[in-house]
Structures are given as C-alpha cells and as structure tokens.
Amino acid sequence: MTFDQPKTLAEAGPQTGAAGATIEFRGLQRSFGNVRALAGLDLTVGRGELVALLGPSGCGKTTALRVVAGFEHPDAGEVLVDGEDITRVPAHRRDAGMVFQSYSLFPHLSALDNVAFGLRMRGVGRAERRARAGELLDLVGLPDRADRYPHQLSGGQQQRIALARALALRPRVLLLDEPLSALDARVRLTLRDEIRRLQQELGITTLFVTHDQEEALSLADRVAVMNAGRLEQCAPPAELYARPATAFVAEFVGVMSRVPAHADGAVVRVLGRTLPIDGDPAHGDVDVLLRPESIEVVAAADGSAQVLGAAFLGAVTRLSVRSAAGATVKIDIPSHVAATLPLGSRVELALPERPVLVAPRKEPARSSSRPPHEEGTTTMGVPRSG
C-alpha cells in the first residue's frame, strides 16, 4: 500500500482536512548497536485520536515516531495504517506530516512559501498552493506574517509555520517530535492549546512525543508511558494518574512518595493504618506509593513526623515531611494551612480508608547535602529523568 497524495486540493477532499487513520504498532523492535531502542512495542492509535508518547530520554518514544514517519526501519515487527502494512513504504510516500523540535524551516523562503513547499513538490499550481498556504496561515493565526522570513519570526511563530507546513498536504497522520521544548513557558502553553484545537478541528490522528508529563496529561486523549523500549501503560490521563499499572508509571507520572510498610496478603500496614492493597497480594517488606494529595497532615506538639521543607505552588503548598519510619513524603495542603506549619513543626500523618498501591521495597538513596526543598524537579515535581 502506498500513500501518494492527490495532485490537486480539490481531489484531496473538503477544506477541513482528510480523515484520520488508525495506526498500529505490532511487536516493533529496533536496536542501535548494543542499545535496544524498541523491545517489542505493541500499541494501537484510534482514528482521530491524539496519543502522547511519554517517557525519559532513551525510552524509545522518538524511535517509534521515526518508524511511523519512515525515517527508521524496524529490525522486526510491523507498522500498519488503516490495517495496511507500511513498514517498508518510503517516507515520501506515506500520508504523514511531521513537525520537529527545531522548526526546520527553509531560511531563504518566506512563511507562505515554507507552508506551500510540499504542495509545490507535489506539482500543485502556483495559485492553488498559495491560496492553500494562505488558508493555513490564517488557521494558525499568522495571516499577517506571510512575507516574513524565518529570522524575522519568533520561535513560537516559526513553530506555527512548521505546523502549517505539515498540515498543507492534508495528512491523515500528524507526527510531533517534542515541538514545544525549545519555546519559553508562556508560548509553550499557548501553542499547546492551539495544537489541540487544530487536531480536534481537523480530525487528524496524532502522535505527540514528549518527556514533559504535564504537557502529555493536558494535551492527549491517551498517554502511552514507555520505559526501556517497552510500553508500560496506555490510558486516558485521569486513569493513568489515579490507577497506574506499574510502579514505574506511578513514579514517573505526577508526584509519588515511597513509604516503607509491611504487607500481609491483601492488606498492608502503613503510617499506623491497615489498608487494602490495590492489586495483587504481597507479603513482607514493601513500599506503599502515595500521591501528595492522599496524605493528611495535622499539627501535633508530640507528633511522630516533622516538616522539613515547603514549596509554595499557589493555592496549595507542597510540604516535605519526614515520617516516623524515616521516609520523606510530599504532601499537598492548602497554602493558608501550610502557613501555620513552619519548618521544624511536629505533625501526625494519616491516610484515608482506601486501597493503596505497593511496590517492592526500594533502598533509599544516599542522602544529599541539599535540603529537600531545593531538589531539582519538573513542572509537576517529579525528579527529571534526563
């Protein structure tokens, strides 16, 4: 099966864009020397769906994207689009548009000509391709920048031009390789919303690669968390956060504290309470994984825990508290309540009566000379994985 584009825009379908396609990865494997980038990846992306590939550097997410684009060929496995095997179809014959992290605009072409470049390569007439490029510039909010060259545009504007260029050929698959990582925070938020609006409006099936969990959770219909070339879990953002399938997902997505505990079958004893285990029974020493909003903290002069640090996050403040067992846990409480708990305060910790996730006991890392509130974190407070 090949994906040759129509020669004219009239043949390409309505102005709202082509219908999205399904994408299926079947047992994809890819190695670079001794490094295994993909280790049997299985994943299906629905028609018109936006799926974010999320994971630390080196997990295989960009390799998976490049396999769909045709820039990499797997050592084993298949990629199917609408049920047809495209694993060996050349990149230029795949119905896919790609936006890179580095914009990759032609410096000698105007914004309009950059957007129209793919149409020109497909033999679309000058008047028609300029009209279509103009429509796309309007779509991405840059109709007044048509004659500007890349060096005359901001980073956010250049990435909008790159997005418009990827959409010009009406692809059924849109591939985004960390397109926002080079932008400042304010522009990144604005463009993130624009990408989601356009994707939903045009109905394009989209794969979005990122290592930023906040970006993935706020943008995607489903988030596919990858680790060491394998898929750990693929689920809607709320499910991924509330019901992580593995300890890796639990700790990579959002903030999670490990608290030493003792399991006895279907229950576990933690922070003075016996709670049901969420998942398979366990026995012996384990760690209970707790979200910062799931732990309650109460001031107590003779409390068994102590406040070590605080990070103001607006409406809430994230406390670092050392438990009686010696574990440092993160706890989110209203900022006006946190103001009554200065550093060094004695407190008691409590948990609500609901199932908790457990994982094999993990030995604590060697203590750092930096106080807890100075540890490097991502935008959602998870230690950055590189």
Does the domain at residues 256-374 carry the CATH identifier 3.40.800.20? Answer: no
Q: Is the pLDDT higher at 6 or at 285?
A: 285
Arithmetic mean of pLDDT, 133-160: 91
What is the band of 19 on the pLDDT scale with cuts at 50, 70, 90? Answer: low
Report CA-CA distances (Å) from 209 to 93, 194, 264, 362.
22, 16, 40, 30
Write down the mean pLDDT value for the chain: 86
| Residue located via tokens 């993990």 | 362
Rounded distance between C-alpha atoms, residue 351 and residue 35, angstroms = 42
Locate 261 and state its tokens: 């505990």
234 to 84, 113, 195, 226, 244: CA distances (angstroms): 23, 39, 21, 9, 10
Q: Are strands 346-350 and 305-312 parallel, antiparallel or unpaired?
A: antiparallel
pLDDT at position 385 is 35
Q: In 10 A of CB 35, how many CB atoms? A: 10
For the segment 314-331, the average pLDDT, to the nearest whole number, is: 94
Give residue 10's Cα distance to chain centre.
Answer: 36
Per-residue tokens: 293: 């909003």
Q: How far is CA 93 from CA 10, 24, 170, 199, 361, in A?
A: 20, 18, 13, 22, 50
CA distance 18 to 22: 13
Average pLDDT on 239-267 reads 93
Please state, in angstroms and rounded to a whole number, the distance separating the CA atoms of residues 313 and 332.
9
Taking Cα atoms as reference points, which of 316, 259, 321 lies closest to residue 290? 259
pLDDT tens digits for range 166-210: 888 888 899 999 988 878 888 888 888 988 988 998 899 999 999
Average pLDDT (78-94) is 92
The reported pLDDT for the residue numbered 373 is: 40
Q: What is the per-residue pLDDT across 222-251, written as a single tens digit (0 to 9) for each? A: 999 999 999 999 999 999 999 999 889 999
312 burial class (0-12, 13-18, 19+ CB within 10 angstroms)?
exposed
Tell me the average pLDDT across 308-316. Answer: 95
Tokens of 193: 């919303």
Question: Is residue 265 within 8 Å of 244, Cβ to Cβ?
Answer: no
Q: In the predicted model, what is the mean pLDDT of residues 44-49?
A: 96
| Residues above pLDDT 70, as percent of the chain | 89
Edge-first strand order for the sheet with 282-290 is: 273-276, 267-270, 257-265, 282-290, 357-360
CATH number of the domain at 9-240, out of 3.30.70.1400, 3.40.50.300, 3.30.830.10, 3.40.50.720?
3.40.50.300
Domain ranges of the chain: 9-240, 256-374
Per-residue pLDDT at 169: 84
CA angle 225, 227, 230 (to 5 degrees): 90
C-alpha distances (whole Å) from 220 to each of 103, 174, 204, 209, 373 are 22, 13, 13, 11, 30
